[in-house]
Amino acid sequence: MKSATQARSKLPDVGTTIFTVIGQLAAQHDALNLSQGAPNFAPDARLIDGVAQAMRAGHNQYAPMAGISALREALADKVHTLYGVRYDPASEVTVIASASEGLYSTISALVHPGDEVIYFEPSFDSYGPIVRLQGATPVPIKLSLSDFRVNWDEVAAAITPKTRMIIINTPHNPTATVLSEADIARLKAITRNTDIVILADEVYEHVVFDGAKHQSMACDSELAERSVIVSSFGKSYHVTGWRVGYCLAPAELMNEIRKVHQFMVFSADTPMQYAFVDALSNRDSYLGLSAFYQHKRDLLARALSESRFELLPSEGSFFMLARFRGFSDESDSDFVLRLIRDARVATIPLSAFYSDGTDSGLIRLSFSKDDATLIEGARRLCEI
């Protein structure tokens, strides 16, 4: 059907996301999917039973806008136990309809036209577009190509009177790096005595490897006072399709975020919330994730040890980066397309995570897959 009026796009340069494009190509070529951070294995059956039980008990209508009280209280207890800060369940904890919704609600609520928002590239692909939709200016700062660390001197130089927000993602997607205590100290120093809000994307908070500690913004009282933390049940419980997460923030900030949240979705899915209350009562359900995914990281790394790829360290998240420039001068996008066609393995080009398409000869692999898929995917990649 031809439209009777011309669409005036707010994002004229934005097309279908790379995840959708790669997913479609993978299906077309029957490729193993090592591209998306979505598990291909089943969640705990008890969690599914909990949702079914909640449905049968009649919990099928709208939940309270901020989330059911039992879940908010369980989250406040969990965060206090892990990070030492107490959030008020009534005014500082909100259950959200996915971490993506939490990111949008936070940026939309707190960033105004003319503001500037600093974030780090390569980055999760929604940050820049959400900022632009507010009439604000994204200020991407590139992580070092040698080790993907933050240059805090560059961050300090980028701050202006218009800087409203800095977006932090740790563990980091797509580079699999994690912030250190030194990073936290620099962030604190740079933002002290400013009105800058820190938006902390911590969806992989429980997937940190080799005994390292997750540096949550909640760990430091000074940072917690200016931070909005967004996390995800989907990532922690292998149910990315359920689209439920949570948001933590001081009451003054949370009040503004809830104003947007209530008009976007009003509330997150109700039966899932009841099931997560029971899941959180078992601390092993999330504290065991680091060991669970470290096994998968190491399995994939061992299986690729005879390949021609150079694997970069993976400190956290579901991902690792692999360098291919040692044996191919193709662009990363062309190389990924060849992998799908010839090896029947789907990956993601790192250039997709840069606003300017920076191509450093790296692809992102996801190891949030069952062991058989990882072994077979590695076998195919070893033949490249």
Q: How far apart are the first and last CA of the chain?
A: 45
- 256: burial class by Cβ within 10 Å (0-12, 13-18, 19+)? middle
* Token pair of 145 as six digits: 């190509």
The interaxial angle of helices 289-303 and 371-382, nearest 10 deg, is 30
Domains and CATH numbers, the chain: 18-38+290-382 (3.90.1150.10), 58-285 (3.40.640.10)
Give the span between the Cα atoms of 114 and 12, in whole angstroms: 19
> 309 pLDDT exceeds 70?
yes
> 143 pLDDT exceeds 70?
yes
pLDDT value for 3 = 67
pLDDT value for 21 = 79
**What is the average pLDDT across 149-163?**
98
Do you know the residue count of the chain?
384
> 108 pLDDT exceeds 90?
yes
The mean predicted confidence, pLDDT, of the chain is 95
Pick from 130, 112, 128: nearest CA to 120: 128
Q: Which residue in the block uniquely carries the two structure tokens 């990363």?
A: 332
Give the span between the Cα atoms of 224 and 188, in whole angstroms: 10
Pick from 79, 317, 359, 33: nearest CA to 177: 317
pLDDT value for 260 = 98
**Local confidence band at 180 (pLDDT 50, 70, 90 cut-offs):** very high
Q: Prior bond to 174 cis, omega within 30?
A: yes
Give the span between the Cα atoms of 131 and 116, in whole angstroms: 8
Give the span between the Cα atoms of 220 and 357, in whole angstroms: 35
Q: What is the pLDDT of residues 18-44, one digit of tens each?
A: 778 788 888 888 999 999 888 999 999
pLDDT value for 27 = 85
**What is the average pLDDT across 95-104?**
97
- 221: burial class by Cβ within 10 Å (0-12, 13-18, 19+)? exposed
**What is the average pLDDT across 190-216?**
97
Give the span between the Cα atoms of 352 and 135, in whole angstroms: 23
**What is the average pLDDT across 242-266?**
97
> Which residue did the predictor score with more confidence, 10 or 88?
88
Strand partners, 200: 168, 229
The region of weakest confidence among 22-36, 197-211, 253-267 is: 22-36
pLDDT value for 2 = 67
pLDDT above 70 covers a percentage of the chain that reads 99
3-state secondary structure at position 373: helix
> 237 pLDDT exceeds 80?
yes
> 355 pLDDT exceeds 80?
yes
Cβ atoms of 165 and 256 within 8 Å: the answer is no
pLDDT value for 137 = 98
> 16 pLDDT exceeds 80?
no
Phi, psi of 47 (to 5 degrees): -70, -45
pLDDT value for 317 = 97
pLDDT value for 9 = 87
> 17 pLDDT exceeds 80?
no
